[in-house]
Structure 1
Amino acid sequence: MTEELKPASAGSAELCLPPALRKPRLRRWEAAEYLKLVHGVEVAPATLAKYASVGGGPGYQKSLRTPLYPREELDRWAAERLGGVITHSGQA
């Protein structure tokens, strides 16, 4: 069995990611795919581009003109966007 085909319980979640998404910094289209696969947050690359211009999205770095999203920043943003775990649907 190759590393890419191991079930999630067989080791770290990193082994289940496609090789392109294991890099420390991801291009915008890779960041969108990472957010969907790892966190279940569907966001289009164009939406990430809009957030980069108006605010509200994950932090990124630039290499010349290319925005690069650190995976830690994507994880932080997704957790913030998802909010806390809800245990009941009653009103507070």
Structure 2
Amino acid sequence: MYKVKVFVTLRESVIDPQGTVAKDSLHKLNYGEVSDVRIGKYIELTLEKTDRNIDEIVKEMCEKLLVNLNVEDYRFEIEEVVAQ
């Protein structure tokens, strides 16, 4: 079994209104040292063992469904889980 962590962020060239609101709110709470906030999403997948290449499977899932490639970037980490 595999545990996959997918991290999705807006591309640097894309304006992040949610991040701007969070940064402004942090400044109002006296966290003036915060210079930028970018909001993303975290996706956790559990995959059964397969003969197919796990990296390729996850890349396909991200690019076909989980990530909007027009405005988002992504990276993922795969961890093999040993049943106990």
- TM-score tier after normalising by the smaller chain length: under 0.3
Q: TM-score, normalised by structure 1?
A: 0.20
* Bigger Rg, which one: 2
Which structure: greater helix fraction?
1
Q: TM-score, normalised by structure 2?
A: 0.22
